[in-house]
A and B are shown apart, each in its own frame.
Chain A
């Protein structure tokens, strides 16, 4: 499998049916991507594959072959991700932090200026056991506001 992971070209010798989640954690050492449920319910394992938010626990390595992948380790290198990370710190969007990488990755493709309803829809596949969501929504709203105009287009691209 060949993929560009967080901007770096990687050649990996992995089973095509191995979960992308395990490829990232075990073969790439990128343990920021969390496993909550392993069955698509919680969104803790959310990553971007070619700009699209997916649950890495439900993606076979074969489907990430030839793709550009962004995990939480790479989110801060994109301005949209950086703005969200800073907003989560500032607005208390993280408590235990297990859901946070997934929340941030799920929020990255959201368009700047999105309504609260749109944010809720984008994060509907992400569960948090700690915050009660309000501080997460606040963080995403703030993070989207500080997002620079130029980068919006790219974060929205599918």
Chain B
């Protein structure tokens, strides 16, 4: 049963500062961005939250640019409200993080890409979030801000469990920073069809002096396959890397796939990554 609209409220701050003040006053407010997750949940009646704060108009959270300040000079900064379409069209992201462009192209269809945001994908914290393995393999950082100030946390320490993260209720994700990535980037998503499909397994890989591999949909949160990557970094065989991978992920059975299927697909993806980035 859809949640009746009369039960809902929406606050519409004009600035980020105003939005953060509203959240400081009432941390139970739920932010909304492109609404491609929130409105699905409202339609199903599965969202408990009734009171929302609108981020969509906050242009401070838009924009993709080369990092400017201090140590992060070489990083690129992607605003939380950047949509998949913004990412696909950004020459900067195309040049620096092609695997993120590849992942964005496979999210939903054009209508979802036009509205769904990077911040929403991270905050929604679904194990099947397509950008998450990319951000993990890229060694990204998440910029969080509350009325009290800003902090930057490594993406690989962002999630604490199934759909939980270090983000405090009064904090917003304002941006994602991606450092320069050394090596060839690779991305692959396996779903039931090519568009509008939730991932069964997806993998992002970076093949540089050190190899980095991250996999989605095989655990409660995105996982870095550190053991498998280490085997590859040290010049080990793909078979040994696959064995290492088997020991570090334990995917579950659910409505979309069985755990055994996911494990096999993950192994095959690892081999494809290695073959295709030679």
A interface list, Cβ under 8 A from B? 15-19, 22, 38-41, 43, 46, 52-55, 57-60, 62-63, 106, 121-127, 158
**Which of B37-55 touch A at CB < 8 Å?**
39-40, 42-44, 52, 54
- Pair A57/B5 contact, Cβ less than 8 Å: no
Check A43–B44 contact: CB distance below 8 A: no
In the assembled complex, the Cα of A38 lies from the Cα of B40 at a distance in Å of 8
Chain B residues proximal to chain A, CB less than 8 Å: 2, 5-6, 8-10, 12, 32, 34-36, 39-40, 42-44, 52, 54, 56, 85, 108-112, 114-115, 194-196
B10 near A17 with CB under 8 A, answer yes
A133 to B39, CA, bound (A): 28
A16:B109 contact, CB within 8 angstroms: no
Do residues B112 and A55 form an inter-chain contact, with CB atoms below 8 A?
Answer: yes
Q: B110 to A121, Cβ gap below 8 A?
A: yes
> Shortest beta-carbon distance, A129 to chain B, in Å?
15
Whether B35 contacts A58 by the Cβ 8 Å rule is yes
Task: Give Cα distance in the complex from A57 to B35, angstroms.
Answer: 10
Q: How far is the CA of A29 from the CA of B10 in the complex (A)?
A: 25
Question: Given A58-B35, A62-B12, A124-B195, A43 and B2 touching (CB < 8 A)?
Answer: no
- CB of A40 within 8 A of CB of B114, answer no
A43 to B115, CA, bound (A): 13
Residue of A nearest to B83 (CB): A52
* Residues from chain A with Cβ under 8 Å of B111 in the complex: 40, 43, 46, 53-55, 58, 106, 125
* Contact between B39 and A57, CB atoms less than 8 A apart: yes
A139 to B2, CA, bound (A): 35
Which A residue's beta carbon lies closest to that of B8?
A: A17
Q: Is the CB of A125 within 8 A of B110?
A: yes
Which B residues are CB-close (under 8 A) to A39? 39-40, 43-44
What are 25 contact pairs spanning A and B, CB under 8 A? Answer: A16-B12, A18-B5, A19-B39, A38-B2, A38-B43, A39-B40, A39-B43, A40-B39, A40-B112, A54-B111, A54-B115, A59-B35, A60-B39, A62-B10, A63-B54, A121-B110, A121-B195, A124-B109, A124-B110, A124-B195, A124-B196, A125-B109, A125-B110, A125-B111, A127-B196
* Chain A residues within 8 Å of B54, by CB: 16, 60, 62-63
Central interface residue in B36, B44, B108, B114, by most chain A CB within 10 Å: B114
Distance A121 CA – B113 CA, assembled complex (angstroms): 11
B110 and A17 form a contact (CB under 8 A): no
Residues of A within 8 A of B35 (CB): 58-60, 63
- For the complex, what is the distance from the CA of A62 to the CA of B85, rounded to whole Å? 21
Cβ B36 vs Cβ A58 within 8 A: yes
Beta-carbon contact of B12 and A54 below 8 Å: no
CB pair B43–A63 under 8 Å, yes or no, is: no
Kindly list chain A residues whose C-beta atoms are within 8 Å of the C-beta of B34: 58
